[in-house]
Each structure stands twice: as structure tokens, then as C-alpha cells.
Amino acid sequence: MWVQLLSQQLIEVRGKATTFHPGDWVEVSKQTADRWVLSGQAQTANRNGLTFDDKMGIVARGKTTSLPGALAGKIKVVNGQSVHFEKTLFWDGQINPQPGLLAVGFNLLEKWQVAAPLWSYTELASQAGNENDRNKAQTILRDLRVLLYDHRLVFVRRCADGLAFVEQWQKERGNYHDERLAFLVALYQCKPIICALPVTWVKK
């Protein structure tokens, strides 16, 4: 089955491991193709690819507004802190989002109010921040043996609960050295309907 790569892959060609790059078309087994498409590493010929509309946009923190390769020019990027678009992705300009998954993330906001990847499957809030951070967080969260989210890639729907969450998140960022705890505390306080995503949504 033919797929167009959205990420670099090493594929065996005539017995030799060959590097293929984003944009390359390659023929692989259906199983491999399905797995890559569903994890955002490739797209099929029938898919519209990375389709975005003007309801969607990215709010970038810091000075970066340039998206990596496949995304460049496909979606609006602004600097700021607020829920600027009907479906907003808060992006920490430092990390590389999986391009094929961004459209998926925006579409999740049809049903969910917030969507964000987990930070780790094993690292807990009890291991984050300094002692002061953890003591403060524990007064809200009650128990820190809970999973952390990756605050660097957060999809938010512009609705009352989404706006309230973002406002609280911004407030808590000033209260914690470790921003992961700030995000988690805001989440616990506001309780938006959040879709937790696999850690692989952020390339590490």
C-alpha cells in the first residue's frame, strides 16, 4: 500500500536499510501503513492530508511562529496566551508536534473541551517540581500519585469551560516553578472534559 511519509522512516529496500524523508511516497504492508497513518507518521492518497479550516489556529508561546516542514503555511499561528480561535492549539514553540496528528487533535474538540498528551506513563506529580511546589499542589490534588500532562501541546475549545480552564492555568503558572504541576492543578480545579492523549503525540 502506498503512503506519503510525514516523518522520517528507515525502510528495507532490496535488503538494504534506506532512509526516507517526510513527503516521500513509499510502498509498505497494509498493517504498517495503517499503523503509521493512525500514529500520524504517514498519510494515504485518499486522505485530504493536513486539512485545517479558519476555526483552527495555533497560539505560540515565545517568539516562534514558524511551524515545522509539512505544517508550514497550512494553519494560522499567532503569539499570545488566550483562546484566540474557536479551536486553539497552545504550542510551546520548542517541541515538535507530530504533523499528522494536529488535525486529529483539532477534530477531537468537537466532543472534548481540552485535549493534551500525557507527559509520561510512569512519572507522577509526586516526582515533579520542588518540595514547595509539591506541598502546594497536594493541598489541591490531595494525592500526587497521578499522571502529568504535557502542557506544551494543548488543544482547547473556545467554550465557557475551556476559557475558564485557560484562565486558571495562566494564573497557576505564576504559582509553580514546574509548569506541569500548574497545568494539573488548574485541571483539577476547573475540570474541563479533557481527552488524555498518548505521550507519542510529542516527538521526544
Which listed residue (13, 38, 45, 72) binds another protein by CB under 8 A? 38
The Cβ of residue 155 has, within 10 Å, a number of other Cβ atoms equal to 28
Q: Please, is 154 exposed, middle or buried when counting C-beta atoms within 10 Å of its C-beta (0-12, 13-18, 19+)? A: buried
CB contact at 8 A, 166 and 192: no
Nearest approach in angstroms of CB 70 to another protein is 17
Closest CA to 185 of 196, 171, 198: 171
Our finding on whether 193 is near another protein (CB under 8 A) is yes
Our finding on whether 92 is near another protein (CB under 8 A) is no
Nearest approach in angstroms of CB 147 to another protein is 4
Nearest approach in angstroms of CB 33 to another protein is 12
Our finding on whether 142 is near another protein (CB under 8 A) is yes
Which listed residue (48, 145, 160, 174) binds another protein by CB under 8 A? 145
Our finding on whether 99 is near another protein (CB under 8 A) is no
> Which CB, 38 or 45, lies closer to another protein?
38
CB contact at 8 A, 94 and 68: no
CB contact at 8 A, 56 and 67: no
- The stretch near another protein (CB under 8 A) out of 52-60, 62-70, 171-179, 191-199 is 191-199
Our finding on whether 188 is near another protein (CB under 8 A) is yes
In whole angstroms, give the CA distance from residue 191 to residue 78.
26
φ, ψ for residue 72 (rounded to 5)? Answer: -55, 125
In whole angstroms, give the CA distance from residue 33 to residue 47.
13
Our finding on whether 163 is near another protein (CB under 8 A) is no
Which listed residue (91, 106, 112, 169) binds another protein by CB under 8 A? 112
In whole angstroms, give the CA distance from residue 142 to residue 77.
37
Our finding on whether 107 is near another protein (CB under 8 A) is yes
| Site residues (vs another protein, CB under 8 A) | 34-35, 38-40, 101, 104, 107, 111-112, 118, 121-122, 124, 126, 142-143, 145-147, 188, 191-200
